[in-house]
Structure 1
Amino acid sequence: MSSDPGTPAPTLKSRIHGCLLGGALGDALGYAVEFDSITDIRQRFGPQGLTGLGDLSGPRHFSDDTQLTLYTVDGLVEALEWANAGVGADVNACLWLAYLRWLVTQGEDAGPSAPAPQPRWIDSNEVLRQRRHPEKNCISGLATGEMGTTVRPVNPGAKGPGTVMRSAPFGLIPHIAPDAVYKLSADAAALTHGHPAARQSAGVFSLLIHRLVSGEGLREAAAGVTAHAAALPEAAPELPERLEAALRLAEKVPVGPEELVQALGSGWTAEEALAVALYSVLATLPTGAADAQPDRHFRDALAVAVNHSGGTDTAGSLAGNILGALYGEDCLPVEWLEALEAPEVIRGMADQLVKVTTGEG
């Protein structure tokens, strides 16, 4: 169980909803300033930067991070539906078909060699058909019409955050071994990105979510996955280096956005985005039971994750995923949820995952 002071023990359903909704909230917050420098952010919102969805006067859209996360849920749900019916299914093939359906929503074509997947409920939601600056490696990897694998990856040099940003759902499936969580996530990352750091970042992030959902505390889970990253066969050195730097930085007095980027990177690669998110949630972790207010932790962590010059939507999304998995829905600010785009679509996909994994309606 968790050893972090004041951490509650939410239900799996609450963690699933919290993780997916929290990721969407962080994504929407970061997407609003994704291409702004920290100087621009301060000019727009004041010296504290962007602190909540209420600061935004325009649309509170989420990005392709949330779209692809929900399509990951859909691919996993389809595989689990087949399994529950007693039929074996290739999980990665189900995910590839889901991502190909997302590709169509972006106005792209995988060519005649790719299969034509049958539509599912998720495809009927107009909000998921909007083009929200999708990562180019996700588009190009799927547009090859080839199902990439770790042995024969598409986009061999791609290490953008398009893998890690969509990988939280692998950690939400109960009753599977940690090694299986990692492998499912890393294999799915190879569908679009070939660089080891991109695949390993996705696997390690899914493993972090899995450990939190299993009841482990945030500090213990973060240290555990950092050690796991360093021990991987053929480990990409930049991943454990960034994660170890995030752990060290979180032990200091909170640093400013400039020092954050200098130490961890700007978040435009998978390992940098994960490191920034991990630092954000650890540096703002309450130190005692009296200080344990999940919604305050969420607000504080997301402010750190999105106020810097870099890939703020992915850092925000990952931080929201982490805290939603840790606390469940209790950490999500009510007024943020009220401002969130299409919460019914996110809850609809969360409910599908709950039903197929637990049998709850």
Structure 2
Amino acid sequence: MSIASGTVVSPESRIHGCLLGGALGDSLGYAVEFDPIEEIRRRFGAAGLRDFAALDGGTHFSDDTQMTLYTVDGIVEALEWANSGVGADANACVWLAYLRWLDTQGVSVPESAPRPQPRWIDGQEVLRHRRAPGNACLSGLATGEMGTAARPVNPESKGCGTVMRSAPFGLVPHIPADSVYKLSADAASLTHGHPSARQSAGAFSLLIHFLVQGSSLAQAAEAALARVLADDEAAPELRERLEAAIGLAGEAASGTILSPEDLVRELGEGWVAEEALAVGLYAVLATVQQGAATAPVDHFKAAIALAINHSGDSDSTGSIAGNILGAYYGTDCLPADWLEALEAPEVIRGMASQLVAVTSA
């Protein structure tokens, strides 16, 4: 599916759409993150959780949105320096942002670690709540060492904590695709050392980058896969999951959409990086096949429902699907009633506006 002919999606709309869309998918998925599909069906019916209206007590976004916003903050700081004529290490800026996020989680770092100066984001109380943060994200940052691909922290970790926070790298305009991939993979190395963790983050950011550049959903997915296939050092499990996601989504053209049980059997539960990316991508591509005339809002709702209703890491897979669709359609795909239910939308919009400001300067 492509955006209607003649429709122009502004960079501002894509940035806001990506960050808000990810938060919506994260928030709906967070309500069922640790529930098996049987429990989800028991609570919400055979079709599972499909709308915020089913959550009488409301819901919150998780560490996925928290870390995504702190990724934005690190990028914004690096671009602020660049716009003022001063070079800055982008990955160091992101690392310092993550250290400030770690402080919001009540985790201390060694005295040898730097003490970053506070920024606007640090004063937002909603980001100081502990929302099931990933163990590798916490432990990797708590070393006080700036992890790199050559000197990894958590060398065997490939949890989805790298992918779910990496969409913002793809939102920065005017940089080459290879640079997007490297920035994202390097940032993943700050907490996770396994090749699939880094490469999955890089592939996801590339997918967002190609969408922002005007590619269709299918084109962006194939371009991200091609980057992985061209890498002799790519983790085989990442290749397999991406190929499976794209191939299975193609079968949805005939109306064959995977059940929640088949979804996790074919693509995984989403707790590790390549599985989370595959599930989120499949949810987007499979639901687009339901009809070329599908309205963006309807596509968003269908994709998020597919991404979160399974026995796995529902908030991360929902977040990834929401990031993708928001980057593609812009804010036009975001359901108005869902936005009304979203926690602290002003904080998310505030960070989106900061990214818009520094990328249009």
Using structure 1 for the length normalisation, give the TM-score. 0.97
Instruction: Determine the C-alpha separation between the residues in 2 that align with 1:105 and 1:220.
Output: 39
Q: Deviations for 1:160-185, whole angstroms, at most 9, x for unmatched residues? A: 00000000000000000000000000
CA distance in 2, matches of 1:283, 1:55: 24
Q: How does 1:115-194 map to 2 (within 5 A)?
A: 115-194=114-193
**Deviating runs (4+, > 6 A) in structure 1?**
none
- Partner Cα distance (1:54, 1:203) in 2: 35
- Is residue 309 from structure 1 mapped to residue 311 from structure 2 by the alignment? yes
In 1, the alpha carbon distance for the partners of 2:155 and 2:260 equals: 31
- The one-letter code sitting in structure 1 at the alignment partner of 2:269 is S
What's the counterpart of residue 348 of structure 1? 350
- For 1:332, the equivalent position in structure 2 comes to 334
Match of 2:224 in 1: 225
8 Å Cα contact 1:230/1:237 also seen in 2: no
CA contact (8 A) 2:159 2:272 kept: yes
For the pair 1:260 / 2:259, whether they are aligned, the reply is no
* Cα offsets for 1:103-126 (capped at 9, x unmatched): 000000111111000000000000
Q: Return the alpha-carbon distance in structure 2 between the equivalents of residues 358 and 5 of structure 1.
A: 24
Q: CA deviation at 1:9?
A: 2.6
Work out whether 1:73 is the aligned partner of 2:76: no
Query: How much does 1:233 deviate?
Result: 3.5
- Please give the residue correspondences for 1:200-211 in structure 2 after superposition, counting only pairs within 5 Å: 200-211=199-210
Identity %: 68
TM superposition shift of 1:286 = 4.6
Higher mean displacement: 314-323 or 109-118: 109-118
Does the CA-based 8 Å contact 1:243-1:275 persist in structure 2? yes
Unaligned stretches of 5+ residues in structure 2: none
Deviation, structure 1 residue 58: 1.4
Q: Does structure 2 retain, via aligned residues, the 8 Å contact 1:149–1:190?
A: yes
Normalised to the residue count of structure 2, the TM-score between the two structures is 0.97
AA of the residue aligned to 2:319: S
Aligned residues: 356
Q: Return the alpha-carbon distance in structure 1 between the equivalents of residues 265 and 290 of structure 2.
A: 26
In structure 2, how many angstroms separate the alpha carbons of the residues matched to 1:330 and 1:311?
27
Query: Deviation of residue 287 (structure 1)?
Result: 5.7
- In the TM superposition, what is the alpha-carbon distance from 1:226 to its structure 2 partner? 1.1
Contact 1:101 1:123 in 2 (8 A): yes
For 1:204 and 1:114, the matched residues in 2 are separated by: 30
| C-alpha distance in 2 between matches for 1:334 and 1:85 | 38
Contact preservation (8 Å) 1:158, 1:193: yes
Q: Say if 2:58 and 2:341, in contact at 8 Å, map to a contact too.
A: no
Query: CA deviation digits over 1:226-259, x for unaligned, max 9?
Result: 1211211311110010000001111221110000
Distance in 2 (CA, whole Å) between partners of 1:14 and 1:287 is: 25
Task: Kindly indicate whether the alpha-carbon contact (under 8 Å) linking 2:3 and 2:329 is maintained by their aligned counterparts in 1.
Answer: no
